[in-house]
Each structure stands twice: as C-alpha cells, then as structure tokens.
Amino acid sequence: MSRPPAEYVVRVTFRLEPTAGRIDPQRFETVIAWPAPTPGENGWLWFRNHLWRGEITATKPVRERAARTLGVAHIEQVSFSELQTTESYLDALSEMIESRLDDPDRPFKSATSVEAVIRNYFGSSIRVRSK
C-alpha cells in the first residue's frame, strides 16, 4: 500500500480495561498516521481546527477519532507529532492557504502570510519526505 502525500502523525496513550481478569500492562503508547486531505477538499483545514503552534488544541475530537481508529474507549492522551509530507503536497497546501489569506471570513485569524499560517498552526512540526 502506498503512502498518501501527507499524513498527520499523532502520538496516543491508551488504556485497556478488561471485563474479566487482569492484563499487564494496561497502558500503551502508539502512533497513528492519518492521511491529510488534499488542500481545498473537505477536511483540509484540520490543522486550523485542531492545532496551535504544533500542539493539539481541540483534544476531544482528536481523542474520539483516535478511539475510533484504535477500537478502544480509554484514550488518556493525544499529542501532535508532525505533518509528514511531500514537497508537492506542501506546495499545494501553501498555495491554498495563500488563496484564502484575504477571505473576508479571516480563516487564519490575523496571519497575513503563508509562513505565518504554517508557523501559527504547525509550529516547527512539518517533516518533508522524498515520497
């Protein structure tokens, strides 16, 4: 299976609670990589809605998504690691951000440049990969 052009990488700590007996350990850590939507398509503003300076700000929906992805109910912690992306995806994302900077609804608050949007939402949490 080929990798998508970009992925949101999230670290998750979860706990298993057995219905009978005992398990050890009960707490686990894992990494989830969710495909990033194509810039301009439904869901492409995930970063704006959930991140600020590379930290998750809307933890409840991210925890719920992690719980659905993992099939477990007890998510203890979620943290954003990085956007792993190809150069072409990052270029497309930058172009889409730039096209929306002057929108009257101010989708990126007071940011006036692509660089400011990237810094405000992702911090330094972007890793460009070759493929």
pLDDT at 110 (0 to 100): 87
The pLDDT value recorded for residue 39 is 97
Q: What does each C-alpha distance from 108 to 30, 49, 77, 117, 130 come to in angstroms? A: 31, 10, 27, 7, 28
The rounded distance, in Å, linking the Cα atoms of 48 and 107 is: 8
Model confidence pLDDT, tens digit, residues 86-129: 999 999 999 999 999 999 888 998 899 999 999 999 999 999 99
39-48 per-residue burial string, b: 16 or more CB within 10 A, e: under 16: beeeebbbbb
Q: What is the pTM of this model?
A: 0.91
Per-domain boundaries in the chain? 6-129
d(CA 96, CA 90): 10
Phi then psi dihedrals of residue 114, to 5 deg: -60, -45
pLDDT score of 14 more than 70: yes
Calculate the alpha carbon distances from 93 to 19, 30, 36, 51, 119 in Å.
45, 27, 10, 16, 13
pLDDT tens digit sequence for 26-79 = 999 999 999 999 999 999 999 999 999 999 998 999 999 999 999 988 999 999
CA atoms within 13 A on the CB side of 38: 1
